[in-house]
Structure 1
């Protein structure tokens, strides 16, 4: 019977190596999974006469070696330049596809190196393919999958890494990737709803800004010259419009520079630690949009916390992961305060009350879940509740913003009409008289 040399990780995460007799490679992987080990690498060895499984040995890390999958030839310099130019950001859709594929491959018992090599062949994004090459090299050097993925924190979130780590330690990577794909799909759906709700208002605001710029810079100066030649006395509205237009025409370079400086300065300030904390707090107080931002953050908190509890992550460590996944620094600070309270021995319900973020209904569900030991299930229901609220709020937001924009456009047209056409009416009346 054929013998297969293998490297795998046991339930405690230690790297072990050995040999196993099996008819096929899949049988060898199944044998290892049955012993509670997660296969990393399985290679065909010498045939043996009996079915003997050699005892696992602790394997030291090997130096990382980078190989081209499928022995592909070296690329030319022009091809490498094209790949760099065409390289795009790894978006959430690619992460969802990656998680689904990893779920299927790990569920089938395929070793991690073969699974990643197979996925690299179907990837269209050169950046993601290069990242997988680095992850594969880290695996071959003896690192765990969560550690290898952790070298790329801009792509894989702390939640992603924590669930993969739990899946490795329990030998159920397929369930970990299933949870990850579900979470990413819900996150993608939330982002799509937000973009859909803000697309129309954004388009209208940009159109209004362009129209105002054209009218102020080109149209009003033409009317101003005509009125000046006629020497007629102009109404107050017209004099205000002409004054604004003259100011813009004379100082437009400085106005444009100041606008760009304000936008860039705001982005730099928001990226700072203190600026991000203040902005995340204040945007939840904005009219109309503020409650939506708050519910999105709380929905992420509830769903992430539910997943962490289901995965068996210790609650104190899990709260730190949840704080990094909510996407709001102010809410993250409240979650970390909850973690500190739990580490001091306080109940989850008391820390949730002290955080002052949740509605009475949610607090009641947390209390019931803590008493009954079903906090993960009830938190998932809380997340579904918040998701439904967010969907309703986003629809309502679009319905409320639309009449506001229409009133704003009507007011702008009224001001322009009074400022531009009143003098024309006055001149025609004077001519007729």
Structure 2
């Protein structure tokens, strides 16, 4: 029976190393699971088993199988589910260290389990939850950490955690709607490009040879089609290099401040895409700012965080200006209105919220309204893109068929005469 040097996590979240014999890696995993150990890495070794906690050893030249990190990532919906469970446990009177321990046992992802184990260890050592979470910026965003910090300071951590979970679920739902809406047009585009490329590479060259043997005068459309096919067939490698170079050059240029600002400004001015991008940004702005203000985060700090989440340099500059003016005693609404980038409805509702002292509620209502607008805009954008893709595909294939059939019909007519 082979021996395996393993690394795992105990129920308390501590790292355990040892050597154990088993028929296979799945059998070892099942054995350790019965002992309460979550297997994260295993290496086959020639050393004998040592039941409990010796070093893993390096003998045997075994190949390490990293079960915990292979294809494993912490998804936003996993963080949202964990956050909601933590709030439930805290509301039930369970202490924060005990809640973190229970959540460490609950999650399935080895990487997330390691993260929560580390957070729990830091909290047990006296660190605040926000400071412990700040050690994992790839898992917990700046917004998440600041909201937790505000919740701890105000003594309402349970309520803040519920708000965070709701916010993350809403953002994930919006992201899913956009992805789903764009999938069909993109799939159609890829299929269309594939069909046209296949025709140009496989079908048109054969037709061109047939026409060359006839020695007949070909129409302009047919000559153009044959020339395009010859370029694609003979210089496909150069075309790929040019496309890769163009994509690389655009990404390099877009990474500069001027390039990104110009790109974002063009996106906002586009007929269909611009309206959708603006609605998504406004919904994110209103929802995030409302959630942070309701959780006790100060307005200036909240604007700094919201600004980094908009994903559009033009709107980010507007919020930067608004933050600076608020620091000098101005309100949010006048600055947003002067920019011309936020619709009148947005600035009006924010102004009403500021005057009535109900800015958080007004932002929530605004976010709900723009979420509905975003869903409707996505539906309209999809309805516009689908016929455009169909017409483009049909037009490309139709041009190829027309260019091929025209000289054939001319030859048949000449033969009839």
Question: Partner residue of 1:398?
Answer: 382
CA distance in 2, matches of 1:176, 1:133: 22
Of the candidates 161, 178, 182, which is equivalent to residue 198 of structure 1? 182
Alignment of 1:298-337 (within 5 A): 298-337=282-321
Contact (CA 8 Å) 2:74, 2:111: kept in 1 or not?
A: yes
Q: Does 1:67 align with 2:14?
A: yes
Alpha-carbon offset, residue 274 of structure 1: 4.8
Stretch moving more, 201-210 or 122-131: 122-131
Distance across 1 between alignment mates of 2:190 and 2:118: 43
- 399-408 or 219-228: which moved more? 399-408
Task: Tell me, yes or no, if the aligned pair for 1:158 and 1:325 is still in contact at 8 Å.
Answer: no
Gaps of 5+ in 1: 1-64
Tell me what 2:158 maps to. 174
In structure 2, the residue matched to 1:35 is none
1:192-341 equivalences in 2 (<5 Å): 192-271=176-255, 274-341=258-325
Contact in 2 for aligned 1:103/1:175 (Cα 8 Å): yes
Report the Cα offset of residue 88 of structure 1: 2.2
Greater shift, 71-80 or 309-318, is seen at 71-80
Which runs of 5 or more residues in structure 2 are unaligned? Answer: 1-11, 17-35, 45-62
Judged with a 3 Å threshold, the aligned counterparts in structure 2 of structure 1 residues 136 and 264 are, in CA distance, closer, same or farther, namely: farther
Please give the alpha-carbon distance, in whole angstroms, between the structure 2 residues aligned to 1:399 and 1:159.
Answer: 35
Could you tell me which residue of structure 1 aligns to residue 331 of structure 2? Answer: 347
Deviations 1:124-180 (A, max 9, x none): 212211222222233233321111111222221221111111111122211111000
Q: Is the contact between residue 87 and residue 125 of structure 1 (CA under 8 Å) also seen in structure 2?
A: no
Distance change (3 Å), C-alpha of 1:198 and 1:336: same
Query: Which whole-Å CA distance do the structure 2 matches of 1:73 and 1:86 have between them?
Result: 13
Q: 1:319: Cα distance to partner?
A: 1.0
Q: Distance in 2 between matches of 1:114 and 1:271?
A: 45
- The Cα shift of 1:118 comes to 1.4
Paired residue for 1:142, among 123, 126, 131?
126
Which of 39, 43, 61 is the aligned partner of 1:77? 43
Provide, for residues 74-129 of structure 1, a one-character-per-residue CA deviation record: whole Å limited to 9, x for no partner: 95336963325523222221112111111111212222222122112222212211
1:77 partner SS: strand
Equivalent residues in 2 for 1:104-123 (5 A)?
Answer: 104-123=88-107
Structure 1 residues 162-171 or 220-229, which shifts more?
162-171
The answer as to whether partners of 1:100 and 1:181 remain within 8 angstroms in 2 is yes
1:18-167 equivalent positions in 2, closer than 5 A: 67-68=14-15, 75-77=41-43, 81-83=65-67, 86-167=70-151
Shift of 1:324: 2.1
**Residues 73-82 or 224-233, more deviating:** 73-82
Distance in structure 2 (CA, Å) of the matches to 1:382 and 1:153: 29
In the TM superposition, residue 383 of structure 1 has moved relative to its aligned partner by 0.8
1:352 deviates by 2.0
TM-score, normalised via structure 2 length: 0.83
Q: CA deviation at 1:261?
A: 2.5
Q: Structure 1 residues 277, 120: closer, same or farther in 2, change over 3 A?
A: farther
2:391 and 2:39 mapped to 1: Cα distance? 64
**Deviation per CA, 1:218-277, whole angstroms, max 9, x where unpaired?**
111010011111111111100000011111112111101221232344345445555444
Change in 2 beyond 3 A, CA 1:86/1:164? same
